[in-house]
Amino acid sequence: MEKCIAIIGTLDTKGHEFRFIKDVIEGNGLKTLVIDTGVMGEPVFQADIARETVAGAGGKDLEVLRRNNHRGEAIDVMMKGARRVLEELHQSGRIQGVISMGGSAGTTIGSYAMQGMPVGFPKMMVSTVASGDTSPYVDVKDITMMYSVVDISGINSLSKVILSNAADGISGMVLLAKEIPMEEKPLLAATMFGVTTPAVTTAREFLEARGFEVLVFHATGSGGRAMESLIEAGYIKGVLDLTTTEWCDELMGGVLGAGPHRLEAAGKMGIPQVVSTGALDMVNFGPMASVPDQYKDRNLYKHNATITLMRTTPEENRRLGEVIAGKLNGAGGKTALYLPLKGVSMIDVPGQPFHDPEADQVLFDTLKAGVDQKKVEIVALDTDINDPDFAIAMAKRLVEMMEGQANEN
């Protein structure tokens, strides 16, 4: 079967540039399928999927968008429509990759559509904003972003090289794509931070020795969201959520929050999860100078030149305990909560800067009081979180829960 790459773009404002990309891709022996997301002007060439179709898929008639002449509304409708169209093309097996390009509006439309594609599906976004913060565009998907260097405005000696590289790049991804069979081992997810690395390493090795494959996610906001996304997509069979620190940043305004739905996916999918309180002693900020004024007098720790940690207080730990208890109580699958009574991170032990037994005790007491122990098993161990005994206890419990679920099925 001849492979096909979808091209998403505004053919009224950047039609010549998209035709150039189309020609390069087809010159590489691939088919193309062009999706027009323009609104106001006339397209430079005819798309395979017209803008009227895209607008309709986004919930609005194209003529209505034109009459309203509201740029924000048009972008919102076309990004939703492009995503729906792209998803339908992928589900029907008509496309094997996607490329787009643009400024801030074109990048918003193209990358939002790409976010609907599964991990592993080739995605290329050429953008004028790719040298800045790309997190809104990449989100938790493997979108390749290429900085356009110059504005996407005409084919010149420099843009020709950049756009050719992008077109050749997506062509190579599609032409050289290999079927990589998924391991038959059950796939587990685990969460880790630098200060919980020993625990997760011990648990991972224990689980791998028993025939499981473990994906470790760095609990940096995007890591937690990526894990939740893969759980909801059905890839993950069990979760060792040892490091729930992203909730500190979510509640206290740190830089590594994972959003309000963290700790929901496993419960929603009904898969076993063993959860702990890893790194709930810290909120993450950037360099010391970036710490908000209201936190300047707090217990701050310079982790490195770009990361400053702030110790959570007893009151903040109470809030954390309430939120986490609520999330676990809503779980539809087997759930266990493990509490390390002698410290929740590498720097929350005697002699380290965040050692604060009072704050930890408030966290533990709040969790014990808030968790519905008819639904959620609580295990408190007299160790710190990085003690090998603690890590292995969590891993063993996850194995037992998964084996129990398998027997029930």
Spatial neighbors of 232 by CB under 8 A, at least 6 apart, are 265, 268, 269
Distance CA 114, CA 84 (A): 10
Token code pair at residue 310: 């702030």
Q: How far is CA 225 from the centre of its chain?
A: 4
Spatial neighbors of 242 by CB under 8 A, at least 6 apart, are 190, 191, 192, 196, 199, 200, 203, 274, 275, 276, 278, 385, 391, 394
Query: What pLDDT sits at residue 217?
Result: 95
Domains and CATH numbers, the chain: 4-175 (3.40.50.12020), 187-408 (3.40.50.12030)
Query: What pLDDT sits at residue 11?
Result: 94
Query: What pLDDT sits at residue 119?
Result: 87
The closest of 152, 30, 22, 160 to 95, measured between CA atoms, is 30
Contact in structure between 253 and 247 (CB atoms under 8 Å): no
Whats the size of the chain, residue-wise? 409
| DSSP symbol at 28 | T
Query: What pLDDT sits at residue 183?
Result: 59
Spell out the per-residue pLDDT of the chain, length 409, in tens: 789 999 999 999 899 999 999 999 999 999 999 999 999 989 999 999 999 999 999 999 999 999 998 989 999 999 999 999 999 999 999 999 999 999 889 999 999 999 999 988 999 999 998 988 888 888 888 999 999 888 787 888 888 999 999 999 999 999 998 776 655 788 999 999 999 999 999 999 999 999 999 999 999 998 999 999 999 988 899 999 999 999 999 999 999 999 999 999 999 999 999 999 999 999 999 999 999 999 999 999 998 888 999 999 999 999 999 999 999 999 999 999 999 999 999 999 999 999 999 999 999 999 999 999 999 999 999 999 999 999 999 999 999 999 877 666 5
In this structure, what are the phi and psi dihedrals at residue 69, rounded to the nearest 5 degrees? 50, 45
Whole-prediction pTM: 0.77
Half-sphere exposure of 222 (CA within 13 A, CB side): 10
Query: What pLDDT sits at residue 184?
Result: 72
Distance CA 146, CA 184 (A): 35
Contact in structure between 9 and 86 (CB atoms under 8 Å): no
